[in-house]
Amino acid sequence: METEQITEKSPEIKLNENNHSKSCETKGKKGKKKFGREKKSKDDRPKDPYQPIIRDNQTLTKYYKEQNLLSEEEYEKFMNTLTLDLPTAFRVNSCTPERHKVNERIQQFIKDLRTSGVEEAHLPKEVEWMPYTYTMSVSRNDVRSHPLLKSFHNFLVNEAEVGHISRQELVSMIPPLLMELESDHNVLDMCAAPGSKTQQIIEKLHANTDNPEGLVVANDADYQRCHLLVHQTLKRMPSACTVVINEDASIMPKMIGPDGGPLYFDRILCDVICSGDGTFRKNLGMWKDWSPLKAISLHKLQVSIARRGLELLKEGGLMVYSTCSLNPIEDEAVLAYLLQMFDGSVELVDVSDKLVGLKRSPGVNTWKVFDRDMNEYSKYEDVPDFLKTAIKPSYFPPPEEVCKNLHLNRSFRVFPHQQNTGGFFIAVLKKITKVDGSSTNYVSRNVGKVIKSCKRFSYRDDPFIFINNMDEDIKNISTCYGIDFSKFKWSNLLTRSVKESNKKGIYYANDRLKSFLQKNEKIVKLVNGGLKLFNRCDKVGACRYRLMHDGMRMVKNIVTQRIIEVPLSDLVKILHGKDGAANIPLEELDSEKVIRDLKAGSLVIMADVGNGIKIPICAWCGEKTVSPFICKEERIHILRLLGEDISQMELDRETKRREKGVKRFVDENKIDEEVVKAKESKIEETN
């Protein structure tokens, strides 16, 4: 059948700063990038930032009532739930070796909270359809007023910082769970920032191996959010199979695979820019600003992104399309258009038997189209001429006989009232045969991009330079740490500096990531990739480069020298340090002789913590002392799991954070630091 080609650029729409839709919004094909936040004029700033937000929008109420997505009774529950605060949700990282111990600690917290008299409604509750996942409803005031709740909150913050726990909205965890990921898959996350779903994808690839064969390409159109993605995801879930790129997802270039041909993906996550009306419970500013115009403005861009995703999908592959919007214009209308465009080459997958226990509502075949002023149009012909540039035929539901063959009911919504969550829409599409656009000559597309590369990449990140020969640094590392090259390819090592003298960090990329970086450096804008294993160290030591804890997942398997196992009691002493210092005298350790026999420098220390789990850490051995080379949050994590008293360490960390916050506030506002400290003291006394 003939379908209308959507080629017009969607009007820009500014959404709430915290809204999911921000992830793909700000990148343009032309013009200068803005690397800092735009300063608001004084007139644009709220007159009273503490004025309470009224959780009511009559246009929203009327719009969803007219859509008939829910029965009368359910609709009332839906609207009432939207006005309530969103519960906190968190999950234990599936790749954490000590996952069971972390979960046991959570269970102990729950018991202690219940014993201390915390209301049952405020206790963390396990999620039926997702193991190791919890939700809890508790206000900030409750957390501040109850010592044990505050302790639990500190626990969550600390564990999230080091990647053992992910704090993430519950419904946003769903899309990666439906991707059926394997360790050897090529995966594309089209609109990845801030990275919570990307982290789930990486976890799945690492589920059964420390060094998966697959590839994860995490893209976002906003350069600044790409670096947020790096911090939020790759710093917490370091991986040798992941790369972050900065491209407009709607016109993403065709990339080159290891064989020199076009790169197609086994799985694609298409979590597109959206109006975000499923997030009213956390983005309170939307109550004032919401209108049907947002969905109207975004539909065409959503189609463009999803269509490009299907073109890049491998035959037999799966693409998950998702939005945090409940609006059919952004959901079923997009799917209906794509399914008709690709006419039998793509189909919706029935996933109703997946995630048992998840309450959901199937997709619909009919919906209504309104303009900004809530004027309804039953068909495209009814749309006034002046609105036809904004409202397209694809916004309207297909005829009934067409809808029957599209199986839109295989998609589904999660409404907030069904299990006390945010709102979300998810659909799984399978590519049956090659679709139009897949056969586009990738050489001609890429040549055009290469020609423009000097202008387009005028602002570049550091290059990815693979080490082509066994230079002195690599020989030094190999000799010092006894690298087992049967388990490790030195030719997959790379640095981010062209000059030999500036070579600081040394990274590792698996075979597919190496191929991607080498073949696509002039096709896409590369931001970050690879797993940092070694970092140059100016301290006097056995090796010029020290080991990095970020790469411990791989390091512990390839190092044969300067890796020792110590009694658990010694590990505890090393992690605690002594008298507030991060190091401890060797003479106080049972393993003193073993460590002294090593020359000064970096080493791996391991200890058996029970149940067959051995925890490795990077450390530095001096002439008389040894100290852990890991962040304080990781030290707290390990000591807490071992049942050690960490109250002083947490207090020190909290004090430093507060001091940094005060300094930043003073610097930004240029006010008297003593005034700030005085006010802070009063707040502490009040609490």
Taking 80 as the threshold, does the pLDDT of residue 682 lie above it? no
Beta bridge partners of 324: none
Query: Quick one: pLDDT at residue 434?
Result: 84
Q: Which of the listed ranges 112-126, 299-313, 648-662 does the model predict with the highest average pLDDT? A: 299-313
Taking 60 as the threshold, does the pLDDT of residue 478 lie above it? yes
Burial 263-275 (b: 16+ CB within 10 A, else e): bbbbbbbbbbbbb
3-state secondary structure 366-384: CCCEECCCCCEECCHHHCC
Q: Are 279 and 327 in contact (CB under 8 A)?
A: no
Average pLDDT along the chain: 86
User: How many Å apart are CA 310 and CA 313, to the nearest integer?
Assistant: 5
Taking 80 as the threshold, does the pLDDT of residue 436 lie above it? no
Based on its alpha-carbon atoms, the radius of gyration of the chain, rounded to whole angstroms, reads: 27
Confidence (pTM): 0.87
- Residues 80-118 have pLDDT tens digits of 999 999 999 999 999 888 899 999 999 999 999 999 988
Binding residues: 191-197, 220, 248, 271
Q: Are 3 and 340 in contact (CB under 8 A)?
A: yes
Q: In the chain, which segments carry CATH 3.40.50.150? A: 20-29+171-366+405-431
Angle at 671 between CA 666 and CA 677, to 5 degrees: 65
Q: What percent of the chain has pLDDT over 90?
A: 68
pLDDT band at 53 (very low <50, low <70, confident <90, very high): confident
In Å, how far are 4, 273, 360 from 281, measured between CA atoms? 36, 18, 18
Q: What's the whole-number mean pLDDT along residues 251-265? A: 96
Query: Quick one: pLDDT at residue 278?
Result: 95
Question: What are the start-end ranges of the H helices in 206-341?
Answer: 223-229, 286-289, 293-312, 332-341
User: Which one-letter DSSP state was computed for residue 581?
Assistant: B
Query: Quick one: pLDDT at residue 225?
Result: 95
Query: What number of CA atoms fall less than 13 Å from residue 33's CA on the CB side?
Result: 18
Taking 60 as the threshold, does the pLDDT of residue 499 lie above it? yes
Instruction: Tokens for 403, please give them.
Output: 């809808």
* Burial group, residue 90, by CB count within 10 angstroms (0-12, 13-18, 19+): buried
User: Which one-letter DSSP state was computed for residue 233?
Assistant: I
User: How many Å apart are CA 418 and CA 123, to the nearest integer?
Assistant: 20
Binding residues for S-adenosyl-L-methionine: 191-197, 220, 248, 271
User: Phi/psi of residue 606, each to 5°?
Assistant: -125, 150
3-state secondary structure 65-124: HHHCCCCHHHHHHHHHHHCCCCCEEEEECCCCCCHHHHHHHHHHHHHHHHHCCCCHHHCC
Taking 50 as the threshold, does the pLDDT of residue 635 lie above it? yes
324 is catalytic: yes
Instruction: Tokens for 330, please give them.
Output: 């952004």
Least confident range of 96-105, 459-468, 551-560: 459-468
Query: Quick one: pLDDT at residue 664?
Result: 75
Peptide bond into 52 cis (omega under 30): no
- Residues 564-613 have pLDDT tens digits of 999 999 999 999 998 888 899 999 999 999 999 988 999 999 999 887 88
- Residues 276-308 have pLDDT tens digits of 999 999 999 999 989 999 999 999 999 999 999
pLDDT band at 452 (very low <50, low <70, confident <90, very high): very low
The catalytic position among 324, 403, 480, 618 is 324
Query: 20-29+171-366+405-431: CATH homologous superfamily?
Result: Vaccinia Virus protein VP39 (3.40.50.150)
DSSP string, 154-196: HHHHHHHHTTSEEE--GGGGHHHHTS---TT-EEEETT-TT-H
Instruction: Tokens for 471, please give them.
Output: 């230079």
Q: Return all residues near 60 (Cβ < 8 A) that are at least 6 apart.
A: 277, 287, 290
| DSSP H or E run through 372 | none
